[in-house]
Structure 1
């Protein structure tokens, strides 16, 4: 079963996956093993049950601060920005990108992609608990001005919503058109995948970037050679640039 899931969604065969499959035992009994597809209802339900959805607003804030000050202004010189959260979970990362986009000085749009249907529903609803722990602990006072807080909940301000969209997609497939994005965030996703799956996803993400575009990865994620990705600079950990010569 784990091998079938690995082929379908690139998941690594790990203790995390094994434990989640144990909890999803009632779903396993109903699986049509000859119809493994992310859109097949029983398989889709299993994928909903085993995917990891840990995220929050401005998670890994130092990397995002560097992206905001050193990368985003250069991308904005080319005009309107297309920003992508790949593996967006419940959407906080996509809404974080929206806040960053508002300060870029050019039109922007954000697309969030994920495999898990309940997570995408939460992302579109965009209504989150404040905690504990404090869900906004990495958000500055200035950025909180673009969030609406009421009681124990917060939501992105209406000004952000028109330019943010969410879509169900398998990152192993061609989820994005070639050269469509100026920046893609894909953090804490690849660590749950097989090596083959990681390389396949990185290849697709690199192809989806416009030449000179930025790919933000987790600190332990390092793209293999041959994908046209180079470190943005020596000082920016986890931020990669699609080589201009690759375009």
Structure 2
């Protein structure tokens, strides 16, 4: 179906389906991606929306935003490493440090967490979650083009020792790979173990969601954090009251701590 033949009611019905299925909000970004994916739309069973239905899965692959890079939001990553991790580590007990990248896209932020964890001096594991199948394939392969623009522009020089860099490409060193895992998941129901994660990074995901979707995802992520665990969000992501989150510190933007709902 050519873009000019895509009827507005049909487009609206698909947008409603995406909102119900994955919490996607109507936006110019989503509409433009739907128009580019117009040939996929006539096959969609609007009454059977599922991330596992092949036609819906193909549409989700086409419309999810996959912008990411190593050490993205470097100031927040540095704050997490220098101020948050040292507080978390003494409270872990005997288990590994468990970190999650929710909405991991092509994996660079999950591999960033792996570098931080590998330098923490104890056992660790990282899990990356995303809906987009091609992005997850790229995350698992973990072989990235150097640019331009410079894909490593925010990576501290000392941390580049964790990357093999050659011939215009880079990839994480082999020692990191066994402890990093990726899987396809809907953040509205990510199937994360309750109170098991020490920190979850979910940046620039909620901005594409409806208010109901944002709250639903935040509830899931908070439930997955152990008490005292850290949630790293984008600077404009403001969790509503009553979710069991408090700012990590009044001078730190975008990092939240799991506390009692009334704390």
Q: TM-score, normalised by structure 1?
A: 0.98
**For residue 206 of structure 2, what is the aligned residue in structure 1?**
190
| Helix, strand or coil at the partner of 2:181 | strand
CA contact (8 A) 2:242 2:262 kept: no
CA contact (8 A) 1:172 1:197 kept: yes
Structure 2 distance, partners of 1:172, 1:153, is 34
Deviating above 4 A after TM superposition, structure 1's stretches of 4 or more consecutive aligned residues are 244-247
- Tell me, yes or no, if structure 1 residue 140 matches structure 2 residue 163: no
Q: Mark the runs of 5 or more structure 2 residues left unpaired by the alignment.
A: 1-13
**For residue 37 of structure 2, what is the aligned residue in structure 1?**
24
Report how many residues are paired: 247
CA contact (8 A) 2:23 2:213 kept: yes
CA contact (8 A) 2:225 2:258 kept: yes
1:61-90 CA-to-partner distances (Å, cap 9, x unmatched) read: 000100001011111112421000000000
- Tell me, yes or no, if structure 1 residue 75 matches structure 2 residue 88: yes
Structure 2 distance, partners of 1:33, 1:140, is 47
CA RMSD of aligned residues (A): 1.3
1:143-194 CA-to-partner distances (Å, cap 9, x unmatched) read: 0000001101000000110100001000001431210100000000000000
**For residue 221 of structure 2, what is the aligned residue in structure 1?**
205
Q: TM-score, normalised by structure 2?
A: 0.92
Q: Mark the runs of 5 or more structure 1 residues left unpaired by the alignment.
A: none
**For residue 99 of structure 1, what is the aligned residue in structure 2?**
115
1:70-120 CA-to-partner distances (Å, cap 9, x unmatched) read: 011111112421000000000000000000001111111000000000000
**For residue 241 of structure 2, what is the aligned residue in structure 1?**
225
| Helix, strand or coil at the partner of 2:43 | coil
**For residue 55 of structure 1, what is the aligned residue in structure 2?**
68
